[in-house]
Structure 1
Amino acid sequence: MQRSRIALFVLSVLAGSVILTGCDQAVEQSQASAPQAVPVGVVTLKNQSLTLKKELPGRISAFQIAEIRPQVSGIVQSRLFVEGRQVEQGQALYQINPATFEADLAASEAAVARAQASIASSKSKASRYSELLKIKAVSQQDFDEADATYKQANAELLTAKAQLKSAQINLDYSHVSSPISGQISKSSVTVGALVSANQTMALATVTQLDPIYVDLTQSSNELTQLKKAIASGALSVDSTSQADVELMMEDGSVYSHKGTLQFSEVTVDPSTGSVTLRAKFPNPEKLLLPGMYARASIIEGVKADAILVPQRGVSRNSKGEPTVMVASKEGIAESRVLKIDRSVGASWLVTAGLSEGDQLIVEGLQKIRPGVPVNPSEVQSSGTAGKAQ
């Protein structure tokens, strides 16, 4: 009896041990089958104010260009400038032989004097005949003839004065002067050359280089989208800062002076589909020369709720669309397809697919896939904010 009780006790102990062992194994198996949360680094996205800038190609053109041509014919007597130097407005550049024009001027002065003398005589005669007519001492015909002679003398004086003015103008034109201030080119004629009034060939060209223009080209589609964004309120415009233009030289350096946007063309070039914008820059060092290529950065506007995404967190799917992984509030990795506007430093400006507060996964991407539990931890973002190119 006692032996049977001992045997029963041993059996109960062994059964309990088997049950405990089975429970432990079941717990271990359930823990092994449950997926573990993958640690990842995330960046919490925030809306920020962003100044959008656009780089546009352009060509430099002169502020003013004046082609010097003679307005009277004659022989070039002297050249009064140094080629390639700065000349001022009104400065004499060439002297055409003035002898003929001086003679014409003297003849015109004599004609004026003769007309004035004729007026004095005819006026006196007309006055006497007027008094005599009152007492019937002369006929009406005699008075009419005297009065007509006086009026004719007045007309001849006016003609003589006009010829005198024309002769003076021609004499002045024998001094060929510069209509603007600027740098003058080489001369196309030498002393002794015969020149003609309004000839096709220019004697020289004066170019004003300070200030100077930069003509930029922008796609008409880009301009339309920009106007729509401003009209919808997606972009705000500061007219003061929007007029500022920054210029990049051909060697990649930034021009030391800022320019101002002057105007935009109202027509689209049908051959290129682009619109021309003109900016004016100071050019005291004469570094900018007409015909040079340059790139200018203009301010399009300010986006108040911009979202910037680090480029290291963006990949492409099989369709070529930009995608990212985000950590949901439940701690699950989710894939998002984005719409991207442009690059901003080491970041992308996103217009759709993400919103403020989303946790963008930027570290540990190779360990996860959509639907996997993740354990997010904040990392330092290296995105660039403030201005966008």
Structure 2
Amino acid sequence: MRRSLFPFVLGISLVLTACHSQKEEKEEAVVYRITSPMVKDTVVTSEYVAQIQSSKNIEVRAQEKGFLQKIYVDEGQSVHAGQVLFRIMPEVYQADVMKANAEVEQAKIDYQNASTLAKNDIVAKNEKAMAKAKLDGAKADLRAAQLHLSFTTIKAPFSGVINRIPLKTGSLVNEGDLLTSLSDNTGVYAYFNLSETEYLNYQTQAAERSNKQVGLVLANGQPFSEKGVIQNIEGEFNSETGSIALRAKFPNPNQLLRNGQTGKIQMEIPLKSATIVPQKSTFEIQDQKYVFVIGKDGKVTSRVIKVAYVLPDIYILESGLLPNEKFLVEGFQKVKEDDKVKTRFESPEQVLKSLKLKAD
């Protein structure tokens, strides 16, 4: 019985050994594709959230107290410079003007009398000077009264569109109360922020930019018909956000854009010697992106990379890889740290052309 089992056990052992050898040969046969970063000059189009403001936007406030006697405009109405918008009941201020005018006339008479008496040496010349000073004071009071009266008629300082009117006819208005706001929408400003890296790229590549034009994508995803021009950059970075604000001006001939809208600025940024890798060749752990770098000894080592720009199917790196370093194109799910692997090098151009670049 024992003799009959020995050939069977021996057969099983031979079969298992053969299977194990075949498995090892199969694993050894795996060859991983590797490449290096593509380094080239390129231009990226980046989008930045923008806040849109009218080129002129002011609050129209009362400069005098009184009842709101008349509202001459409606919300959303276009007005021209100098057009009357509101009138505050003027009677009290008209009376002040009449009183001040009478005081001027009285002061004129006093001055004429003092001049005559001083000429005949009946009174001292100081009396004439005092009368002149009184006349000048009365004229100043008259001018102030006329100015207060003029404040009861509120006019548009420039052409634009009337916004919300919170008060109604007959409301009691105090000095400084908001009557409405006025927006000139013939041109608008778009404010947006750049990070420090993006700002440096933008400024240092100034010679590569043919112009300062930018595009605008509206909230509905449609591009705005007009191109804008970057006019200025603020003088300092925001210490909390680490960004700096830029202002672009857009013509707005059809008055489509209004104060307070939002959109996205589209700006082309030239990059010198940009480092480009396929998205599919990267993996992510705890919000950090990695690639598997192949060392000279053939071992794989994970490396953190910092992405500067995300484009369809590719990343443009800020740091993490040198131009001559090699990394796994794919299959990093099958390897682990310090594994020694067989590789086949493919040029970056070939990889970017042939791979179906789609991030896992």
Q: What TM-score, normalized to structure 1?
A: 0.64
1:163 equivalent among 141, 157, 175 = 141
Correspondence 1:210-359 to 2 at 5 A? 210-218=186-194, 222-223=195-196, 225-226=197-198, 236-238=205-207, 243-259=212-228, 260-264=230-234, 266=236, 268=238, 270=240, 273-275=241-243, 277-282=245-250, 283-299=252-268, 301-311=269-279, 314-316=281-283, 321-323=290-292, 339=305, 341=307, 342-350=309-317, 351-355=319-323
CA separation of 1:186 and 1:236: change in aligned 2, threshold 3 A = closer
Which letter maps to 2:264? R
* Rg larger in structure: 1
Structure 1 Cα separation of the partners of residues 298 and 233 of structure 2: 50
CA separation of 1:364 and 1:158: change in aligned 2, threshold 3 A = closer
Identity over aligned residues, as a percent?
Answer: 21
Which letter maps to 2:104? V
CA separation of 1:38 and 1:65: change in aligned 2, threshold 3 A = closer
Structure 1 Cα separation of the partners of residues 44 and 171 of structure 2: 58
- Residue number in structure 2 paired with 1:124: 116
8 Å CA contact 1:108, 1:167 repeated in 2: yes
CA separation of 1:274 and 1:91: change in aligned 2, threshold 3 A = farther
Mapped pair 1:150 → 2:128: yes
Which letter maps to 1:348? Y
SS of equivalent to 1:83: coil
8 Å CA contact 1:261, 1:277 repeated in 2: no
CA deviations over 1:97-144 (Å, ceiling 9, x no partner): 333333332333333233223323322322222xxxxxxxxxxxx5xx
Where does the alignment leave 5 or more consecutive residues of structure 1 unmatched? 1-34, 130-141, 384-389
Structure 2 Cα separation of the partners of residues 321 and 380 of structure 1: 18
Mapped pair 1:109 → 2:77: no
1:195 equivalent among 158, 173, 180 = 173
Structure 2 Cα separation of the partners of residues 305 and 236 of structure 1: 12
Q: What TM-score, normalized to structure 2?
A: 0.68
Which letter maps to 1:213? Y
Mapped pair 1:95 → 2:87: yes
CA separation of 1:293 and 1:317: change in aligned 2, threshold 3 A = closer
SS of equivalent to 2:206: coil
Which letter maps to 1:346? D
Which letter maps to 1:345? P
| 1:154 shift after superposition | 0.4
| 1:80 shift after superposition | 1.5
Q: Quick check: 239-248 or 87-96, which moved more?
A: 239-248
Structure 2 Cα separation of the partners of residues 171 and 156 of structure 1: 23
CA deviations over 1:179-210 (Å, ceiling 9, x no partner): 343221243333333323x144x122223334
Aligned residues: 317
8 Å CA contact 2:52, 2:190 repeated in 1: yes
8 Å CA contact 2:293, 2:326 repeated in 1: no
Which letter maps to 2:60? I
1:174 equivalent among 142, 152, 175 = 152
Two-structure CA RMSD over aligned residues (Å) = 4.4
